[in-house]
Amino acid sequence: MEECVFIDGVRTPNGRAHREKGWFRNQRPDELLTSIYKGLFDRNPNVRPEDVDAVFVGTANPSGMQNEIGRLAWLSGGFPDNVPSNTISNQCPSGMSATMHAARAIITGETEIMISAGVEDMEKVPMGSNMNFPPRLLKFPETIHVERPRS
């Protein structure tokens, strides 16, 4: 097994979450993610975008403007289209799941350089939007908790 080393971590600042007064209310989540990609490369000039083996991005709700957000943020940032990406949904720990998958790919020798991230904007893409749960799922209330979208 190969050694996996995290070389850097970049994030946007925490900001007020409010529809009218929030710090990032006028920015799309893909724009914020693209700024993270650029920040990583600015801070690590020896790593070029074309050196990245893959990009894994977690998001709690991959719908609306967060649909395949890792890929779309990568491409709209002008990064190489031959670098594959994968958007991972695992609700709250989606970013951690993306990091675990990236680390596993390095440890197994499948890849060498990965980017993992997490992104979401629950103000623009509310939890449960564009979701249509199978009605038969409700037959098993003792084994699964399903929250109905707010109206």
pLDDT > 60? residue 151: no
pLDDT tens, position by position, 131-149: 677 777 677 776 665 555 5
pLDDT tens, position by position, 34-46: 999 999 999 999 9
Mean pLDDT to the nearest integer, 109-128: 84
pTM of this prediction?
0.79
pLDDT > 80? residue 129: no
Strands 114-118 and 54-58 come out as: parallel
- Higher pLDDT among residues 99 and 18, named by residue: 99
**Matching residue, tokens 């949904």:** 89
- Give the per-residue pLDDT at 134: 73
Nearest one of 144, 149, 86 to 122, comparing CA atoms: 149
Q: For residue 87, what are the β-bridge partners?
A: 57
Buried b (16+ CB within 10 A) or exposed e, 50-84: eebebbbbbbbbbeeebebbbbbbbbebebeeebe
pLDDT > 70? residue 116: yes
Handedness of CA 77, 78, 83, 84 (dihedral sign): positive
Mean pLDDT to the nearest integer, 74-86: 94
- Give the per-residue pLDDT at 89: 86
What does pLDDT average to over the chain? 85
Out of 3.40.50.10330, 3.10.20.600, 3.40.47.10, 3.30.565.10, the CATH code matching 29-139 is 3.40.47.10
List the chain domain ranges.
29-139
